Amino acid sequence: MSSKALDYENLNENVKKCQYAVRGELYLRASELQKEGKKIIFTNVGNPHALGQKPLTFPRQVIALCQAPFLLDDPNVGLIFPADAIARAKQFLGMTSGGLGAYSDSRGIPGVRKEVAEFIERRDGYPSDPELIFLTDGASKGVMQILNSIIRGPSDGILVPVPQYPLYSASIQLLGGSLVPYYLEETANWGLDINDLRQSVAKARYTGITVRAMVIINPGNPTGQCLSVANLKQIIQFCHQENLVLLGDEVYQQNIYQDERPFISARKVLLDMGLPLSKEVQLVSFHTVSKGYWGECGQRGGYFEMTNIPPKAVEEIYKVASISLSPNVPGQIFMGLMVNPPKPGDISYDQYARESKGILESLRRRAHMMTDGFNSCRNVVCNFTEGAMYSFPQIRLPPRAIETANKLGKAADVFYCLRLLEATGISTVPGSGFGQKEGVFHLRTTILPAEEDMPAIMESFKKFNDEFMEKYEDHKGYSRM
């Protein structure tokens, strides 16, 4: 029997090559253990509701009414829905032709794109054009679409931070391009060294790669740092000099857990820099309803905004978006709600503000609990999570642990994380899934387990880790490097 088109050996090589560790070996093993009845704490993916975070009430009321517009005529609707949710639902339905069951324009509902533009203007102090904002099924889909427009073949390179969120490595592999890594410096709180960036580009060029775009993730995933204005300026200067499109993954812009470095968008910094850069540097910025304090991952709502992309290219991006007709409409409504939430004086404002604040403050406390917890463990050091949703501790594995892993044919961090999973049910992602310097090991967890569970989780982690270290350390006295 001859082999067939959908047999493994005949698949598109780019499909086979790409790796996505967030749902890789560790996740699959965790799912198996869960099926066998083991209690698993899924901290592998930033999925707040799966770990018990409750949805914000107001947006869910509005979307429920949009889904069931016949309720708007029900005389009892006021008994279970507040008047401002009813008004907002009517407003959204008025923006669509056909409600949530109709495809929208492939770029998204014009009225929602206008709300996004107004949000961006309030945030940055510069007007934004709704025609340059495309709504998407979550930010990932937007990133993939833009990379697809840029990447022409294996000699097109995309600068990606290491450690990075593996959406980038996976998408670049899938699209047949080349990932050009630049390293974030762990000892400088995961800061970006512009000289390292230059070296990365030079090295890539030497091997025949044309670097065409640069990805920044701010706040960082998995590294949690917030970029300073000075750093962002350097990056934009660099993109200008090197003629790179800047791709600003800013999906964690609402998740900030310190006050020294608030979130500042790449777009604001670019426009503040003035001419000629403000008119010349191409920038695409990404956002989502999945993160922030909303955490509405399952709804798949996102957008990208284009700056300095010429109309003819925007048209091509529109054309490609139109092949899959439209992003899901409920997700678009969520985006409209996120960028234009209840205001002081609205009936639902107090509840909305209380719920949002509750989640955000708890995330901030959890960021501290987790970092402190990791730093209390033997051979573990961890930068503070300034923003985003992750902790990325370095695990200093004893040589005997590394040897044992090698014998089992596993990367040392994978070995460690699998042992952690089996011992405690904590499902993390090994640092190798994000990239790390040779011989240095990490893991990524989210900071999302329920606050009340956090002490027990960190204790369980510490117990496992310290016993693991005890077991594998050279008893003649292995010390921190």
Interface residue with its own copies among 39, 94, 230, 312 (CB under 8 A) is: 312
Interface residue with its own copies among 36, 37, 39, 76 (CB under 8 A) is: 76
Work out how close the CB of 244 gets to its own copies at its nearest, in angstroms, rounded to a whole number.
Answer: 7
- Identify which of residues 69 and 191 has a Cβ nearer to its own copies in the complex: 69
The angle, 0 to 180 degrees and rounded to 10, between the axes of the packed helices 167-174 and 139-150 is 40
User: Residue 135: how many CA atoms within 13 Å on its side-chain side?
Assistant: 33
- Identify which of residues 3 and 195 has a Cβ nearer to its own copies in the complex: 3
Three-class SS state of 462: helix
- Identify which of residues 161 and 331 has a Cβ nearer to its own copies in the complex: 331
- Identify which of residues 296 and 346 has a Cβ nearer to its own copies in the complex: 296
- Identify which of residues 77 and 273 has a Cβ nearer to its own copies in the complex: 77
Segment 387-416, which members bind its own copies (CB under 8 A)? none
Site string for its own copies, 102-131 (x = CB under 8 A): xxxxx-------------------------
- Percentages helix, strand, coil for the chain, rounded to the nearest 5? 50, 15, 35
Q: Are 416 and 395 in contact (CB under 8 A)?
A: yes
Stretch in the footprint of its own copies (CB under 8 A) among 47-55, 118-126, 222-230, 260-268:
47-55
12 in contact with its own copies (CB under 8 A) = yes
Work out how close the CB of 50 gets to its own copies at its nearest, in angstroms, rounded to a whole number.
Answer: 4
CB atoms within 10 A of CB 179: 20
18 in contact with its own copies (CB under 8 A) = yes
Segment 165-184, which members bind its own copies (CB under 8 A)? 167, 170-171, 174
C-alpha to C-alpha distance for 344 and 321, rounded to whole angstroms: 37
425 in contact with its own copies (CB under 8 A) = no
Reading phi first (left if > 0) and then psi (alpha if -120 to 50, else beta), residue 149 is in alpha
User: How many angstroms separate the Cα of 312 from the Cα of each of 129, 132, 220, 290, 308?
Assistant: 16, 12, 32, 31, 12
Interface residue with its own copies among 280, 403, 467, 474 (CB under 8 A) is: 280
Which amino acid is located at 41 in the chain? I
Indicate the helix (H) or strand (E) that contains 198: helix 194-206
Segment 325-344, which members bind its own copies (CB under 8 A)? 325-331
C-alpha to C-alpha distance for 331 and 138, rounded to whole angstroms: 8
140 in contact with its own copies (CB under 8 A) = yes
C-alpha to C-alpha distance for 247 and 149, rounded to whole angstroms: 13
- Identify which of residues 18 and 33 has a Cβ nearer to its own copies in the complex: 18
C-alpha to C-alpha distance for 251 and 167, rounded to whole angstroms: 13
C-alpha to C-alpha distance for 427 and 41, rounded to whole angstroms: 6
Interface residue with its own copies among 26, 30, 41, 100 (CB under 8 A) is: 100
313 in contact with its own copies (CB under 8 A) = yes
481 in contact with its own copies (CB under 8 A) = no
Stretch in the footprint of its own copies (CB under 8 A) among 115-123, 256-264, 295-303, 436-444:
295-303
C-alpha to C-alpha distance for 162 and 168, rounded to whole angstroms: 11
44 in contact with its own copies (CB under 8 A) = no
Classify residue 118 by burial, with Cβ atoms within 10 Å: 0-12, 13-18, 19+. Answer: middle
Work out how close the CB of 53 gets to its own copies at its nearest, in angstroms, rounded to a whole number.
Answer: 8
